Structures are given as structure tokens and as C-alpha cells.
Structure 1
Amino acid sequence: MTTPARLSAPAVATPVPWPDDSVSVLRNRPVRLGTDPASLSRFGDDDWNIRPAHRDAHTTICNLNLRVFPEPLRRQFRAVLLAALDHPQPVEPGGRQRSAEYIGIGSMPVLARGLQLFAHWMHLQGVRQIADITDHDLDVYLQHITGTTTPLRQQANTLNSVRTLWLFRDVLPASCRLAAQFPWPGRTANELVGLRTSNGENKRPRIQDDTMEALLAWSLHMVEEIGPDIRDAWQEYTLLCRGEHSSQAIYVGTAGPRLRAYVDQCRRTCTPLPGIPGPDGPRINYGHVLRLIGLDGKGAFSPAQKRWLAGQGLPVAEHSTVGVITGQIQGRPWRDTPLAIGELSGLWRRLAGALFTVVCYLSGMRPGEVLSLRRGCCDTDEATGQLVMHGHRGKGYDRAPDTPDAAEPTRPWVVVGVVHEAIALLESLHDQPHLFPAQLRVGMFRPSATHARTCSSVNRDIADFAAWVNQTFRRADGSAPIPDDPAGNLNASRFRRTLARFIVRRPRGLIAAALQYGHVDTKVTLNYAGAPDTEWLQDVAVEKLELVLEQISDDAQRLAAGEHVSGPSADEYRRRVVGSADFPGRTVISPRSAERLLGSTDPQVHHGEGMTCVWRPETAACRAARLAQGLPEPAGPDERECRSTCTNLAFTDRDITRRKQDLHDLKATASDPLAPRPLRDRAAAQAERIASLVHRHEQHRNEGAPA
């Protein structure tokens, strides 16, 4: 095999000066709103903070540590990293990349890591300048990297870093320019290290139905019942800490007069002193007493004042509590005692995990898109009346942080009312700009003014919330309210695929999917998940394909076992089921191939409530009804417009079993003397029609002839 010829490097004539040490390393990158310009890293620093230039407030981006580079080569590689921040990445020979595309901030630590390995190899080889590297050196370095035991993905990233170094040669000082030819042309970095790429299949497991339904149900309990109590207790505690609570207005002066007034107040109201649990019983929580009298953070009680308070003979509570319990679960208060201040931080995180679950799962947004939501994101579409949330897309190489002179347009997601309720509760929990702030308290690490919680931290919050529910509450049979998921820990990245399965498989199989999928095709594509976002629709296609194949197999087995089918489309039902069951199968390697296979495999047999629709648009009564009303043509059956005279109908033994149950209920209503006459007449007419349907089905079964 002939080795591809080296690609010649273009001649470089324009000299490039060395950057000044005071130059901001993010001078050509937009930074987040609220970033202090004085805090930005400079070229001469040994530690570069590049987080302010990342779009996503929830993402943790490592600093670029220049100290790890060998000292003789450190300044040269500083210049390389600054060039990668300053300029779009040039297109490789062969043009595989987009033009004018900056390296993502999230990819800069990966680039720095690869350059660090190259720099250390150069130092060991005695190479003092990047410009001294030859073609032979690059071939030796390739053998060196592929001979290590590091994972293949890291090896590929390391080789790509060297190629990136070559691409920026035109904007680097002379000693930093890689003078050799383009490294290792003709093959990708993955091919060079022998890394096989995946086929793009989404292998992330769904959350099983029992677990997801219970998790969502208890998250809704947090929104409606438990969350407001936690919010009120947290707000009371916050006001006490600030000295702004209304109960503190009666205390004035120094600590002594305030303390005496507090003791008098406790005696008048029969209120115990706040306590801390101890081995010999509760002890007085002097810190909370300071908080109650408005002196939190303004000093401490003297030993004499503590002795005086302890000698007043007042009872001491087991805990120091705030707030009251008003929420109820199944008609009873969700707990018997107010919240202890030591519980507030943990309860706040559990509440955040529950509210995140509601917003993320019921919107179909990516976890990062939810974590980046800001205060005031809720709105109502004036044209349609739909409830929406406005946020930023979670993928795309061209995303940039909002800046004072430019802001990336937001996009809407259509949601249900409880999502707005969850967001309203989040906005009342704190005054930070992000709905899910990095931290509630003021701190130096990841300040909440410019940062949101990370995906890993919110995953811990969700798991902690589920564990807390299981420890605090029990089902009537003593089992845990939220069962464990067999596929592993609860993870927000699994919500979207779980939602796709729910839409396809609940509540009534494919006929529900036809209705829901019409919603997906319009609102999800245009609003719900955004026009550029097709991944979620591909998940829906995969789930629908699996359901179609399972349904075909089940229907064919039932026909072979003697299941009877009646109705005007009974023969067509048998033909489609038998014909589809003979399909030998095909390997599905991507969501797109699932869509194509679904189009050629789906027999368009939809099982509904007591009937089966063998879909043919030209004879569908529901389609004719919608068109007569001036509504858009449906993509599938609309059970809301189903007509008993439709020639697309067929009835299996399963449908007749359901109809017999309906017949029993209708007869009971028709004979109920307490029911209004119109309701009894209507029930009697429906019972007569269903009885006739059941009779025809059974008659044709006995005759052994198709209906």
C-alpha cells in the first residue's frame, strides 16, 4: 500500500508578534452577562479561566493550567492556545470541517491536554522550538502515541491536537509554527489509532414505567403540597438571617436587652427555646437565638449571657424549627412537626430535584437546556393560547453567551400548566437569575450570578429526592413509593427517551400514538423541541417501530391460535397482519433507518377502545368529519371522530371482551331509577347498538364465516 504523500505547507510571509502578557485570553470571545472584566485571565497568567465564554451556565469547564507544560516550551504553547481562542480553526486539507468555526470552549481543555503531551514528548527529545519539528519527528510521535496503553479515544484526541497546532501556524510567532507538512494525511485520527466509530444508535436505557410514573407523581406532590411548605420555611429562615423578619421588630438595642425581651416573649407565648439534639437531651441553640433576636452574624453571647438564659427555666425544644406544615398527602399532613433548620439545605436540594423532573420530563427539553433556564422564561402564546417556556438550544457549534450588545434568540417549548407552576415555585425560592442556581449562598466557586447547577449535581438531587421519598413515606402494602429502576440510577439524560416511549405506548397503543404523533409532528418540531432539533423525533420513531413489530407478532399469534375477527375490515385486517408477520426483519443501525423501516413495515392497524382501525384514508369516517369541519387532514385515525358506520372498523375477540364490559355498565345506567331520563335513554340506545355488535361477532364465529 502506498503511503499518501505529505501535503505541502503554504509559505508564510507575514510575521506575527508575540502577545503582550496583559492581553485578555478571551478578548475575541463573548462572555456571559455579569462577568467582571477585571477577573478575566491574561496571557501571562499560568492559570486561564475560560468558563465565562461558554454558552451553558450549568457546565463545569476546567481552567487551562499552563504550569503543566515544560518551562522552556510554556510560552510557545501559550501562544498556540491563545490563537485557538482568538481565531476560527482553519479548514484541514481535504475540507472536512466547517469554515469560520471556532473551537468550542468545552473542547479547549481537550486540546490543551493533547498539546501538553506533545510538549512533554518534545522536551524529552530535546526539541526547543515547535518550528524544529520535522516530518520524521511526527512519524516517531505517532508510533509513540499508538504504542501507549491509554484509551484509543484519548490517543485520537492527542493526534488531533497536533493537527490543530499545524492548522494555526499562520497566526503564530515564527518559533511556534509547525514547519513540517500536514501530519499524517489521508486518514482520520480514529483510523490512525484503530478506533471504530459507533453507528450513532441511542443506547441510553429508558426508565421503566413503574419507576417513572411514581417519580413524576411524587414530583407533582412536591409542586402542589410539600414544596410550598419548604419554600415558606426557607424564606422565613432567610429573612431571619438577614434581620428582616417581622417577628424581629420588637427587639432593639444591644444583645442584653434583646435577650431579656426574647425570654419575656417566650414566657408569654409558652414557646420553648430552640434546641440541638444531644446525648443527654436537647441543648440550647444559642446561634438560632441570636438569629431570632436579629443579631445573626453580629457577634455572640458572652458566657454570662448563656448561663443567664440557661437558668431561666424555659423548656428546650428538640430542634430549632421554622415554618408550618400545611400540605397534605392523602388527606393527612405530610409530616407532624415543622422543619428543622438543619434539614432546610437538604430539603431544598430534594425539592430542586423534583421540580427539575417536572420541567425536564414534561417539556422534552435536554437537561442542560432546563438548567440554563432563567427567571421570567414562562409565557403564553398570544395567537394560540399555549403555555410556553423560552430558553436556549442545547446543541450547536455556533452558540455563544449572551453579552451586553448581543443575545442569542430564545426558542419556545410548549408545556402544560404544571410546568409553569413548578417554575413559579422555583422563582419564589430564591432571587438568582437562573432557575437552578449553582448555589444558594454567596460563594467564590461557580458564583450563581453566572452559573447554574451542573448535570451531575442535579442527578444527585433526583436520586436523593427518590431516596428521601422512600425513607419518609410507604405504600399501603409497605413497599417503597418509588421502585428502583433495573437499568441503574435515575439520570436526567434518560427522560427524553422515556417520554418518547410513553407517547407511543400510552395510553392506548398506536391509535393514541397517531393522535400524539400529530402533536409531535407540529408542536414538537415547531415549538416543543425547536425546529432544528430532530433527535427527539427519531427516538419516537424507534419506539414506534418497536411497538409496531411487537403488535404484528402478537396479532399474528392470536390469529393463528383462532382469534375471531368481525366487522367490515375483518378480511383486510387478516391480510395485513399475515403479510406483515412474514417480514423477515432488517438490521436497524440508526434512528433514521428506523423511520424508513417503519414506513415500509407498518401495517396501519391501530387497536383502540373496543375496536380496531384498519386505516385507509380514502374510506376513513374520522378523516371525512375533520375535513367537513375545515380541520387539517389527519395523518392517522382520530378516535375522537370515530363513527360506528366507518368501513375501516374491525373487531377482534379482545375488542368484544371490552364491549361486553361496556354493555354491562350501560345496562346498569339504563336501569338506574335515580339517573335522569335523557341519560337512561342514551345508555339504552348505546347498549342496544353494542349488543347488536356483539351478537353479529358471535354469530359469525359460530357460522365459521368471515364478517
Structure 2
Amino acid sequence: MSQYAAAVSTPPTVVATVDSDPIILDKTRLSPSYTQPLSRIGDSRWDLGPLLHKPTVTGTQSVNFDTYPPCFRPAAKRLVWLCVNVPTPVEDLERPTATRSQLSVGSIVVYAGFMRLWMEWLVAQAVHEFSEVTVELYRRYCSEVTASGLSRESQANRLFAITRCWLYGPYLPDSDTLIRPHWEDTLVRADVLGDPKWSAENRTPPIHPQTMSALLVWAIRFCVDFSDDILAARHAKSTPQTPPLLEGRSAWERFKDYARQQRATSGTVPGFYPANRPQRRCIAMQFIGWQLGLTAAQVSESGGSSLLADLDPTDEAVLPVAITGRIDTQPWTRGVNFYEVDELSNLLATAAFIVVAYLTGMRGEECRALQHGCCRTITDESTGQTRYLIYGRVFKDALDENGNTIPAGTQRDQPWQAIAPVAKAVSVMEAMYPDSQLLFPLRAYTSFTGHAERDKAVHPRMIRDRTADLIAWCNAKSDEFGRAHESIPADPDGPVVLKRFRRTLAWFIYRRPGGRIALGIQYGHLRGHTTDGYGSRVASGLRDVFPMEEALAAAEYLEAAHTRLDDGETVTGPAAPRYRDGVRLYHQQFGGRYLTNRQAAALHANPRLRIYDNSEQFVTCCYDQSKALCHPDRATTARIDASPDITNCQPNCGNIARTDHNIANAEAAIDRLREEIASPVIPLPMKARLEQRIGNLQRIIDHHRNPEGHR
């Protein structure tokens, strides 16, 4: 048994060396799909790909030891081998840490990079062995890291890479053994790195509502309205049919007869604009070859282009596919061009990804790892209601008994609930790539893939780039159809990237006025409160997935409410005392602070802080379930709703408070209604209803301004 292997099964006193040349990995840990030769210790580059058990990892995962200083290469190999095969003894640290003892493949590659930077710095200091490192060297390296301008997290990661080298000391020869880094002293660490200033707030910017709404409309339109035409075009392009009269004739003879026929009739042939020469229209040789029942290879070898050189390439290379999709009542295209099929397929795959990722709320990696057959349709026999459940794997919280990441992830305990557009998007992808195990393979988004990559999952950068292409296409189509109101505006926070979808869904629900109502309408639910179970764990609902977003939204509202109250804002209504009490209680307990997870949970659990702005009804709800008229079955059910049903707000409810802010919104609404009444196109019955609405709002305003006079 090699001494490398011995290090795994014997006490830490065993020294790891590179005297032998075994493979670097335990074969029992290999990915079942990996068939390439394994790296050996003597190799200058170690491929860690065999340890990858999930298809969502992109790029190569390897360590090139030729980039390390020659004097440190043996030590680097020993340390990387230990990191791969031996759990880091993090229990030897004297401070608490969330660092895992077994790193993922990607983290090992990052660790190796930090270690190389450390070794290069040591060589520049004329130090060629770890045993020569002193506390003074540690201090100097610390000074350079902290002065680098990196974030605190990046600085901490670079320093902990050295700490990990020190922790592996019992497995290493004396020359590779470091003394304890001085920053592992708690007081010194705080002095070196400073206050972490950690906040639980998600700093990922949500996609602007106007951008996301328009993008979602077009993505659903692609999946529901355009997909059948695009799939039909894909099938037609992939199956050239030889006309009966051309059976048995060579490619040259077919082109010769075709050229003779075109000269005798129109004198034209189909053409197209190549991407590398968009200003010059060329003869559509591949399309003509398809019409003649020839493959692309046969067209290239035929030499038929010389026969067509005198013909004018003015016709369109349109496939014989009937267009069924509509934008309003008009066909979305006059025909699918032979040379646009691949582009439209990429756009359709992008639209399907957006629909699934956004409308389920799943994490990006979870969406990228979905497989064929992930969507199941469940029909309730008693009601006839249809539900769609999405089954897949989770990675973020997939941990073994030691708290280390499970590389392949784990099957999600509860499926994601979905609605019909999601199920349609899944079926579209399964129809486009029936031979792929993954629902969203990389080849669905680009033709530039090697054989080894064609069945890997699409990576986030590709989704970003293809989404930009989709937005450009949709905006061009909006201009073509004269529908400027359907164009997708640019997002002020930059490109639409994968990690922003989940953040946007949470933000939309808890930050937009009436967000849960709008979400219900947008996604096809009948009542806003049903969104609690939407796109999340069946058992616990969206609140279990996005609790921090809800707490932050409540905190922002209550902070603004306290400012208005301090400025003398008037509050009326039966719940006015509870409103004032709740706002002041929030300010005492949470005002001006970062919310930790524990504080967010405390805010959400406190019944005195359940204060909701219902901008649709111009009221503020100080929610008390026992008084809530929006839940008419409150006295006959054991279920206690944690939030009001703002779709069923009752004007005589004891939970109502009205603030000057609510009244200002009501006055603005009256101005808008009067503008509508003044319009000559509004029919008289509609004007009467609008006048009635103005009267109701004015009574609310008058009561707020003079509550004593309206008792």
C-alpha cells in the first residue's frame, strides 16, 4: 500500500510522500459516468473531473503543478492530494468555524490557486520551505493581503488556505509543516480582517418589474404559442425528402435539373445573408440541397454551386410549415426560414428555461440539473383540478452526516408546485431533445460544443447571453407588429442573469403594492393568498423559501411608518392604537439594525408587528386573526392564518387603520377617476359608476380629516 493511501487509514503521524506513482483518487468515489484515464501522482496536471457527480459543473476542474514554483511542487502535490482524500482536521481550530472538512472539487481548485499565490510570495521572500516560515512572514503577508483591495471575504479565504496547510501538518514531512498562523488568534483575526458587518439581506438586485413582466409574457408566448411551429420546422429541416422523380440521381444531376428548371421559369433561387457577410445575399445552397433530398455533406461535395451562379438569389428559404401561432389575431411570422431554425430553437430553449426557473422559484443550479420526466401531472378525481409537480435534486443543503457537501446532491423531499406554462415549457424541451437525459443541455443553446460537452447542463453565462438575444428578438418583433407597449425595457441594474430570477420572485411578492394579488392573477391563481404554496415546498409554502425577503419588506415599511408617525402623521380607524403601538414597538426592537435570521423570525412571529399596507383599498391592516372579516370562517376552523386575505378586505373590519399616506393615495385616485370621467369616450353608465366611486373615496377622506364630525 502506498504511503498516500496509508494516510487515509492510519493515524496522522504517517507522512504523505510522492515517492510512488499511484492514481490520485479512490476509485470508489468516481462518478459513474467518468470513463477517461485517471490522473497519477507523477502527472504535472491532476484532473479532478472524476469526482464530479453532477452535470451542472462547467469548464475543466484540474490543477496544473507546472505553474507552481519548482521548490514547492512536491509540497503542493501533497497538500492537494490530502485535500482530495483526507478530511481537514478543522476541529484543531480554537475558534468556531463553518468551514467544511471536505471541500467540493471547485473549492479544491480555488484552494490550490490560493496556495500557489502563497508559495510564489514565499519564493519572492527567498523562502523555499514551509518550515522556514516565521510569524514575521505571516504578518507581512497579512499586510499585503489586507492592502490588496479585496473584499473581507476574499481576504479571509486567502488566509484560510494557509490555515488549511497548517492543519494538514500532522500528515506532512517536517519541511512542509507550518507554524500556527497568528491570525487564528481570535483577537488578532478581528484586528487583521476587521468587523465582518455581515447581513442576511440578499444583495442580488431583483430584475426591474417592467423588464421581468414583459420578458415573462414573451417567454410564455414562445412556449405556448410559437413552440409548435418551431418544433415542426426543426423536424422538417432534419428530414429532407427526396422528390420521387429524383430518386437514384446524383447530387450533380439534381442540381443541374434544378438550375435548368429555375432558368426556364423565374430565373431566381432562394438566398440568405450569411453571418460573416450580412451585406451580401448568397445562394441558399443548403436549403436548395434540402429541397432536392441531399444532406449537407452531399451538397458540399456536389460542386452544384457553379450551376446556379447565374441565378438571382432573391427568393426566401422558407420551410413548408403551416404557421399556427398568433400574436393577437396575426401569425407571428410569415414563415420559418431554413437558416433561422437553429436561432429560433435557441430562443425557445431560453424562453423555456426562464418560464421554469422564474415560475417555480427554484435555484439556478436546481433548474439546470432537471432531467427528462421531472414533471408529473396530478389530477384530483373529486374536483377535477390539475396540479403539476416538478421533481429534482437540491445541492445547497445536501450534506452528509459530517456536514460535508454531497457532490451529487440529494433528491428534494418535496417537489416544486407548478402551473400549466411550466408544464408546457418542460414538454417543449423534452420534445426538442428527446435523446438528452438533462432537460436543459448545453447543446440546446449553442452549436459550438464538443462531444464531451454536448450533454452537460447549460451554464449561467450561456443563459445570460441567450436571454439578451431573446430580449433583442422580442423587441424587434414588437416593433414589427407595432406593439411598443410589449417591448422589454433594459434593466437599470444590468444584464438579466440566472441568480436574479429567484430574487425577483421573492421581491415581487413582498415589495410590490398588492404583490401577492398580482402574483396570483399573473400566475393563474384565483386568490392572492394561495401563493403561499406556490413554486415552493408543497408542505411549507413560499414563506419557507423566502422568509428573509418578507421580513425585510416588513422592516422597510415599518421604518418608513415610524418616520411618518414621528413627523406627526394622523392615524384613524378602529385599529389606530394598535398601529401606533406596533410601529413604535418595531422601532424599539429593530429600528436601524441589520436583520439577522433570528431577528427576522422574531419580527415575523410577533403578532403586534403584523401590519400590512393594502394600497388597493387605501387602508392599513393591523392584522388580528380573531377580528379579521377577510377570513369569514375564522370562528369555525382551527387554522390560524398568519396574514390577511387582502383580496377580501371588508370596510367594517376592526383591523383597519387609515394613515395620511393612505389618504394621499386615495386623493390621487380621485384625480385619476376625474380624468377618466372627462374623457369623451367613456360611456354614461361607466361615468355614473366612476362618480359613485369618487363619492365613496371622498367620504373616507372626509372621515379621516374630521373623525369627530362623522361619528
Aligned pair 1:58/2:56, yes or no?
A: yes
Corresponding position of 1:492: 498
| Structure 2 match to 1:101 | 101
**Deviation at 1:457?**
1.8
Decide whether the 8 Å contact of 1:142 with 1:159 is kept in 2.
Answer: no
Report the secondary structure of 1:166's partner residue: helix
1:276 is aligned to 272
Distance 1:388-1:159 versus aligned 2 partners, 3 A rule = same
2:458 to 450, 453, 462: 453
C-alpha contact (below 8 Å) 1:556/1:577 kept by paired residues: no
For 1:98 and 1:698, how far apart are their aligned partners in 2? 58
Counterparts in 2 of 1:119 and 1:28: CA distance versus 1, 3 Å:
farther
- After TM superposition, the structure 1 = structure 2 runs for residues 689-704 of structure 1, keeping only pairs within 5 Å, are 704=708
Residue 419 of structure 1 corresponds to 422
Q: Structure 1, unaligned stretches of length 5 or more?
A: 1-9, 666-671, 675-683
Question: How far off its partner does 1:48 sit?
Answer: 2.6
Deviates more, 1:197-206 or 1:98-107: 98-107
Q: Distance in 2 between matches of 1:452 and 1:459?
A: 14
Q: Which moved more, 1:355-364 or 1:284-293?
A: 284-293
Secondary structure class of the residue paired with 1:632: coil
Q: Please list the CA deviations of residues 99-134 of structure 1 after superposition, one character each: whole Å capped at 9, or x if unmatched.
A: 97311222112211122123334445565554xx14
Aligned partner letter, 2:429: L
Which residue does 1:139 correspond to in 2? 136
Aligned-pair identity (%):
23
Alpha carbons 2:56, 2:369 under 8 Å: kept? yes
CA distance in 2, matches of 1:340, 1:608: 51
C-alpha contact (below 8 Å) 1:620/1:648 kept by paired residues: yes
Contact 2:562/2:583 (<8 A) preserved? yes
Which residue is 1:306 aligned to?
305
**Corresponding residue for residue 214 of structure 1:** 214
- The answer to whether the aligner puts 1:537 opposite 2:534 as a matched pair is no
The aligned counterpart of 1:6 is none
Partner letter of residue 503 of structure 2? R
1:371 aligns with 2:368: yes
Instruction: Quote the Cα distance in structure 1 between the aligned partners of 2:475 and 2:508.
Output: 24
Q: State the alpha-carbon separation in 2 of the partners of residues 100 and 443 from structure 1.
A: 34
Partner of 1:4: none
Alignment-derived partner of residue 40 in structure 2? 42
**Whole-Å Cα distance in 1 between the matches of residues 26 and 454 of structure 2?**
21
Contact 2:46 2:64 in 1 (8 A): yes
| 1:419 Cα deviation from its structure 2 partner | 1.0
Q: Do the aligned residues in 1 keep the contact of 2:516 with 2:528 (CA within 8 Å)?
A: no
Deviates further, 646-655 or 474-483: 646-655
TM-score by length of 1: 0.76
Structure 1 residues 196 and 247, CA gap change in structure 2 (3 angstroms): farther
- Separation in 2 of the partners of 1:693 and 1:124? 77
Query: Which is worse superposed, 68-77 or 274-283?
Result: 274-283
Specify the alignment match of 1:254 in structure 2: 250
Residue identity opposite 2:119 in structure 1: A
1:228-627 equivalent positions in 2, closer than 5 A: 228-237=228-237, 239=238, 244-246=239-241, 251-252=247-248, 254-259=250-255, 273-277=269-273, 282-292=281-291, 293-298=293-298, 300-303=300-303, 305-310=304-309, 316-322=313-319, 324=321, 325-341=323-339, 343-380=340-377, 386-396=387-397, 398-402=404-408, 408=411, 411-430=414-433, 431-440=435-444, 441=447, 443-444=449-450, 447-449=453-455, 451-474=456-479, 478=484, 481-505=487-511, 508=514, 519=530, 526-527=537-538, 536-550=546-560, 560=570, 570=573, 572-579=574-581, 586-590=591-595, 592=597, 593-597=599-603, 602=609, 604=611, 607=614, 610=617, 612=619, 613-623=621-631, 625-627=633-635
The letter for the 1-side match of 2:431 is S
Distance 2:534 2:160 in 1: 40
Aligned-residue offset at 1:84: 0.5
Deviation at residue 225 of structure 1 after TM alignment: 2.2
Give yes or no for contact 1:50–1:63 (8 Å, CA) kept in 2: yes
- Number of paired residues? 650
The Cα shift of 1:659 comes to 12
Change (3 A) 1:270 1:697: same
Determine the C-alpha separation between the residues in 1 that align with 2:248 and 2:188. 72
Task: Using structure 2 for the length normalisation, give the TM-score.
Answer: 0.76
- 2:4 aligns with none
Q: 1:326 to 1:22 in 2, by over 3 A?
A: farther
1:206, 1:494 within 8 Å by CA — same for their partners in 2?
A: yes
Match of residue 6 from structure 2 = none
Residue 390 of structure 1: CA displacement? Answer: 1.4
Q: 1:176 to 1:691 in 2, by over 3 A?
A: same
Letter in 1 for 2:548: Q
Q: Which amino acid aligns with 1:111?
A: Y
Q: What is the match of residue 705 of structure 1?
A: 709
Separation in structure 1 between the aligned mates of residue 128 and residue 569 of structure 2, nearest angstrom: 79
Distance 2:108 2:333 in 1: 49
Q: After TM superposition, give the deviation of residue 443 of structure 1 in Å.
A: 3.6
State how far apart, in whole Å, the 1-side matches of 2:255 and 2:594 are: 73
Q: Distance in 2 between matches of 1:352 and 1:279?
A: 25
C-alpha displacement of 1:420: 1.1
- Give, in whole Å, the separation in 1 of the partners of 2:634 and 2:110: 56
Cα distance, 1:48–1:116 mapped onto 2, change above 3 Å? same
Does the 8 A contact of 1:156 with 1:189 survive in 2?
no
Partner of 1:635: 642
Distance (Å, rounded) in 1 between the aligned partners of 2:265 and 2:567: 75
Decide whether the 8 Å contact of 2:214 with 2:487 is kept in 1: yes
Q: Equivalent residue for 1:7?
A: none
Contact 1:576 1:603 (8 Å CA) reproduced: no
Could you say if the C-alpha distance between residues 40 and 251 of structure 1 is closer, same or farther in structure 2, counting changes exceeding 3 Å?
Answer: farther
SS state at 1:300 partner: helix
1:538 positional shift:
0.9
Following superposition, the deviation at residue 186 of structure 1 comes to 1.0
Q: Secondary structure at the match of 2:416?
A: strand
Name the Cα RMSD after superposition.
4.7
The change in CA–CA distance for 1:688 and 1:307 in structure 2 (over 3 A counts) is closer
| Unmatched segments (≥5 aa) in structure 2 | 1-9, 521-525, 677-682
Q: Would the alpha carbon gap of residues 705 and 577 (structure 1) be closer, same or farther in structure 2, given more than 3 Å must change?
A: farther
In 2, the alpha carbon distance for the partners of 1:185 and 1:218 equals 53
Shift in Å, 1:480? 7.2
